[in-house]
Amino acid sequence: MLKKIAAATALSIASSAAFAAPPDTFYAGADVGRTKITDASGRDTSFGGFVGYNFHPNFAVELGHRRLADRDYRFAGFSANERAVQTSLSLIGSLPVGERLSVYGRLGAARIQSRFSSEGHTAKDSTTKALYGIGLNYAITPAVSARVEVQKISQAASNLSAGISYQF
């Protein structure tokens, strides 16, 4: 894994065009990933969308919404569903590693809403937690970028996602 990251970094440094995020631009995108919750078995597929504003070449503010988990349980005629979604507001700080590749960090707040329903009964819960993460962003073109990120959502949950964004 480390060799692959080093190779990707070396290739990015050798690229010819500079694709840094210009200030005063907006971007929007979508991602798909996997959520791991430590007190639950397995991982759930996540997906979400985000919009952001680059107010400086190295800083942006981003609003995101992601479905973290959606599980169905069935046991001896009993069925239940558990769903969790995240809405977040973050400050993104990025540092160019090459002409097309940058590493970024995220610091913000996430509102996590959970819903558990079974046999006509529903229980809801929501909480606000600190959110932090780290990722890699690769500029495919000046307007289109791909990114991979790990977010720590709460003490018990983390998300690994890959996405694409369009800058306008």
Question: pLDDT tens digits, residue range 94-111?
Answer: 999 999 999 999 999 999
d(CA 101, CA 18): 10
What CATH code is carried by the domain that includes residue 125?
Answer: 2.40.160.20
pLDDT of residue 38: 75
pLDDT of residue 42: 61
- Total domains in the chain come to 1
Average pLDDT over residues 55-71: 94
d(CA 52, CA 91): 9
CB distance 34 to 55 below 8 Å: no
d(CA 139, CA 99): 9
Q: Sorting pLDDT into bands at 50, 70 and 90, what band is 39?
A: low
pLDDT tens-digit map of 117-148: 888 889 999 999 999 999 999 999 999 999 99
- pLDDT above 80: residue 59: yes
pLDDT tens-digit map of 72-92: 878 787 888 888 899 999 999
d(CA 86, CA 157): 11
Q: Which amino acid is at 157?
A: A
Expressed as residue numbers, the domain containing 114 is 2-15+24-167
Q: Sorting pLDDT into bands at 50, 70 and 90, what band is 41?
A: low
CA angle 6, 8, 12 (to 5 degrees): 115
CB distance 90 to 114 below 8 Å: no
| Pairing relationship of beta strands 43-56 and 78-96 according to DSSP bridges | unpaired
Sequence-ordered list of residues with C-beta below 8 angstroms from that of 10, at least 6 positions apart, any chain: none
The DSSP letter of residue 18 is -
pLDDT of residue 44: 86
Three-state secondary-structure class, residue 4: helix
